[in-house]
Structure 1
Amino acid sequence: MPSSSARTEPPTGRTLSFITISPAFDPQGQPRKPGALCIGAQKAGTSWLAQMLGQHPQVWIPPFKEVQFFNHRFIPGHRKWIGWHYRNKPDEIRTRHRTRNLPMPPELDAYLDGLTRGQMFHNHWYKRVFAPAPAHAMPMDFTPEYSALPDEGVDFVAEFLPKARVIYLIRHPVDRAISQLRMNLQREKRRPRTLADWMAEIGNPVLHDRGDYASYLPRWQARFPDMLVLPFGRIARDPQAVMDAVEAHLGIGPHPYANMRDKVFANRDPLTVPPQAIAALETHMAPQLAFLADRFGADFLAETR
């Protein structure tokens, strides 16, 4: 196992456009529960963290990253698009292999087919998701939507995974909402034309729901008091410190990560949100900012952006 002194600073300036999943794959592995969860927040660096931990031999991440199990059970409004997720992600993985002229491993193909046929989202199905994890590796579920689980959902997670190590990345509420808005508009191929259009967009409850830290953090910390909470801005300023904290929390050894300063899914043509819309978001998010400052301090809040 390499020592921390053996680490080297990776090159900068590149954009990673896909997730590097854990390369190890045990087709004879038995169904098992994950040992760790990354529960969010959406647009707060979870893909970057998956990119890093996907390189670590002691961590195993499913090839589609987000399992969407607990929210499927406890947030009925998510079920329609979760169905889309599982219809499309296996095809994306197969297409990725074809475009890179890589043979599709038959065991991976069989695994994807098996998970998306028949009854899904029951407890044993969830454990089957992590079956290919090597015996020496900790399976990990990265699903940002878990942060929004209701009380009974978090109770279920705590009962089902009582020893899980939980990570929550926190991004500045306004920045997070703007990033989500841009992503949603680009996915839907829409561009607001007028200020009134923009004001209508920022009033969408979905933008505020994913960043409701004042509701979600106490809920999760009550069941997982040792949950690791990290500010998003630290990823850019000191990615090594982030990974040191994550390794310590997960109980895994140090690893020389590649491309720590690269961006994942960087937006090359971001939409410009009018300042009036940003000001309205700042007003709406003021209680969230006050909550974060009160709970973690001003220095932590400053590091969320």
Structure 2
Amino acid sequence: MTSGDDATTEDALARLVTTLAISPAFDPEGQPRKPGALCIGAQKAGTSWLAQMLGQHPQVWIPPFKEVQYFNHLHIPEHRRWIAWHYRNKPQEIRERHRMRQVPMEPALDAYLDAVTSGKMFHNQWYKRVFAPAPTHATPMDFTPEYSALPEVGVAAVRALLPKARVIYLIRHPVDRAVSQLRMNLRREKRAPASTADWLAEVANPVLDERGDYARYLPRWQAHYPDMLVLPFGRIAARPHAVMDAVEAHLGIGPGFYTDLDRKVFANAPGLMPPPEAIAALEDRLAPQVDFLRDHLGPEFVAELR
């Protein structure tokens, strides 16, 4: 079963949260460095929420545009077009947030945004420069959920460059995740299926499977990072403090004080829900993914997916 209008889990996370920057600390004299941690996972599985929480921790630093998109640019060529869009638009969004809130833009941040989005990009030194403003006492962290879909050669490249990185993988129930992604895609494309047949065609789109293929992606990552922390999406709503305790222990950071633990980030608006027939079709198609998670991570983990 799906959770209806994402009510069971997403509504419990409350309302939209936006901030001027994910990590407010910024060292303009910082030197290029590798990230010490990665957060990957399924689309619509809580990575934005976790970034907002860890952005409040003084021992973690996240780039102002959050998702660096480095390894998937190198190893998933079909991502490159929208990654270019990401880097054209994110600096503009950050500047606009400052303007709308009448908060002056720090010249160092403004110069940094120009520097990392111009000239030659997506090479080793560029990747390190992205994390240069991290304070020396903080762990730089790359929040790019799309890394979860890297091919074997891509995950091996991550391990080769970041052998000591701490990795967090967020997982959402396959059906709920696919429904949430579909609703988001339809709104972005300004479309609304008119009939049950139209909805059945939408849920049959294989694009909904790409980011939720846990049976293929999770073992690949665990082979390279066997101590990776795997978290179920439902735990965010049910036990957010437990989530942050586990994350802090995994990253080796001290206890943090977090505001808005129970608030939702980037929630879907109400409405535009697939009919029961389309949900049933998704359940049938994605049942093997649920079975894999149950066999691989146990029934208690699956019970916390929503």
* TM-score, with structure 1 as normaliser: 0.94
User: Which whole-Å deviations, capped at 9, do the CAs of 1:225-270 have from their partners, x for residues lacking one?
Assistant: 0000011100000000000000000000001111100111122333
Name the SS of the counterpart of 2:41 in structure 1. coil
Alpha-carbon distance in structure 2 between the residues aligned to 1:111 and 1:257: 27
Alpha-carbon distance in structure 2 between the residues aligned to 1:25 and 1:151: 34
Are residue 145 (structure 1) and residue 146 (structure 2) matched?
yes
Contact 1:46 1:142 in 2 (8 A): yes
Aligned residues: 294
State the Cα distance separating 1:93 from its structure 2 match: 0.3
Alpha-carbon distance in structure 1 between the residues aligned to 2:83 and 2:14: 33
Per the alignment, residue 136 of structure 2 pairs with 135
CA RMSD of superposed structures (Å) = 1.1
Contact 1:19 1:47 in 2 (8 A): no
Alpha-carbon distance in structure 2 between the residues aligned to 1:182 and 1:243: 28
Per the alignment, residue 281 of structure 2 pairs with 280
Residues 164 and 72 of structure 1: is their aligned pair in 2 closer, same or farther, counting only changes over 3 Å? same
Contact 1:39 1:146 in 2 (8 A): yes
State the Cα distance separating 1:18 from its structure 2 match: 5.1
User: Which whole-Å deviations, capped at 9, do the CAs of 1:189-236 have from their partners, x for residues lacking one?
Assistant: 111111222112112211101000000000000000000001110000
Contact 1:19 1:51 in 2 (8 A): no
Between 75-84 and 262-271, the greater mean CA deviation after superposition: 262-271
Name the SS of the counterpart of 2:169 in structure 1. strand
**Identity %, equivalent residues:** 73
Alpha-carbon distance in structure 2 between the residues aligned to 1:116 and 1:238: 38
Per the alignment, residue 108 of structure 1 pairs with 109
Name the SS of the counterpart of 1:263 in structure 2. coil
Contact 1:20 1:55 in 2 (8 A): no
Name the SS of the counterpart of 2:142 in structure 1. strand
1:29-48 mapped onto 2 (5 Å cutoff):
29-48=30-49
Structure 1: 5+ residue runs without aligned partners?
Answer: 1-11
Contact 2:35 2:140 in 1 (8 A): yes
Structure 2: 5+ residue runs without aligned partners?
Answer: 1-12
State the Cα distance separating 1:15 from its structure 2 match: 2.7
State the Cα distance separating 1:19 from its structure 2 match: 7.2
Contact 1:293 1:301 in 2 (8 A): yes
State the Cα distance separating 1:20 from its structure 2 match: 4.6
State the Cα distance separating 1:89 from its structure 2 match: 0.3
Alpha-carbon distance in structure 1 between the residues aligned to 2:182 and 2:269: 15
User: Which whole-Å deviations, capped at 9, do the CAs of 1:112-169 have from their partners, x for residues lacking one?
Assistant: 0001111100010000000000000000000010000000000000000000000001
* TM-score, with structure 2 as normaliser: 0.94
Contact 1:18 1:265 in 2 (8 A): no
